[in-house]
Chains A and B, each alone.
Chain A
Amino acid sequence: MIEMIQHPLFWLVAVIAVLSASGVVLSRNAIYSALSLLANFIMLAALYLMLNAQFIAIVQVVVYADAVVVLFVFVEMLLGAVGRIPVVERLTPHLIVALVVGFLIMVIVGSVVYEVPIGGARGSATQQAINQAGQVQVLGMTLFTDYLLAVELAGVLMLVGLVGALVLTHQWRRERGIRVQRANREGMPSASAGANRSSLTGNRS
């Protein structure tokens, strides 16, 4: 049954994916862009299911459709609520250049994909072998044996990203700098140059 409806399903999902991707680019309101992005991510998860990559499909939904889109919408609310982001914008005048570049990319990539036959050594992880052992088990064995170092490094990368985002957005650095400046100004009201320099170095440390 699933086999029978697979091709029309592919076309349906592909068309929705292309339409929602166009929606990200074309919609004037950034919130609509985020929602189109959500639709696109979910369609890609469906495509991964068709490609027999269940684990990647679930990760796609959990990480992309959940975390990333929520982050986008949250930042949008955070900045839009203050009223400083222009939510509505016009399309820029160098549209033609962008369209030409896009057309070139499409022609080059599309012709390569269409003309060049897929070569290379066939591995042992065929559909039957994967289905027999279980998708997640096979992928987990590969991840935690062959790619163990990369998994550990990915963990370190996520930690660094977390700390970096906190350091970038946190306010205490700036507040302490202002406090140091104020203390310097009150302490030495006449020696302005020296106080300024010391306050600058105080800022940086």
Chain B
Amino acid sequence: MQDVPTTWFLLLGAILFTIGAVGVLVRRNILVMLMCIELMMNAVNLTFVALGRELGSLTGQVVVFFTIVVAAVEVTVGLAILIELNRLYQTADVDEVAGLKG
């Protein structure tokens, strides 16, 4: 029995990325949009690890490690901005936050 082919992992990553992208476009709740961005990041991480295994390189895993670090910081700052926005606008709907609209 062989290993699971790398192409399947790549296709799964593509599907997960698409779901995340559609989620960012469809949902208007900032919290859920942040979650969908996390989904997309995870799909890319999966691609990195799968290709790293295929090519016999550890760089894929190293890049995923740094991506996880950056994603953690991104979530922290994003949620802080969300709390501040909630203080200003009393809503989590991005369509209501139109202070810069001309």
Interface residues, chain A, with chain B CB atoms under 8 Å away: 3-4, 6-7, 10, 14, 17-18, 21-22, 24-25, 30, 33-34, 37, 40-41, 44, 47-48, 50-53, 55-56, 59-60, 63-64, 67-68, 71-72, 75-76, 78-79, 84-86, 89, 91-92, 94-95, 97-99, 101-102, 105-106, 109-110, 113-114, 118, 120-127, 130, 138-139, 142-143, 146-147, 150, 154, 157-158, 160-162, 164-165, 168-169
Interchain residue pairs A-B with the least CB separation, the first 4: A161-B73, A98-B25, A102-B22, A25-B23
Q: Which residues of B contact A91 (CB under 8 A)?
A: 26-27
Q: Decide if B97 is an interface residue (CB 8 Å cutoff).
A: no
State the Cβ distance, A145 to closest chain B Cβ, in Å. 11
Give the Cβ gap from A25 to chain B, nearest Cβ, in Å: 4
Collect the chain B residues with CB atoms within 8 Å of residue A99's CB: 22
Query: Which residues of B line the A interface, CB within 8 A?
Result: 1, 3-4, 6-23, 25-29, 31-32, 34-36, 38-39, 42, 45-46, 49-59, 61-62, 64-66, 68-77, 79-84, 86, 90-93
Roughly how many angstroms separate A147 CA and B64 CA in the complex, as a whole number?
13
Which of A4, A21, A59, A86 is most buried by chain B, counting CB atoms within 10 A of its CB? A21
Query: Taking chain A's interface residues, is the majority helix, strand, or loop, or is none over half, making it mixed?
Result: helix
Of all chain A residues, which has the CB nearest B84?
A168
Contact A109 B76 (CB under 8 A): no
Q: Which residue of A22, A118, A123, A158 contacts B69 across the interface (Cβ within 8 Å)? A: A158
With a cutoff of 8 Å between Cβ atoms, the chain B residues found around residue A14 in the complex are 8, 12
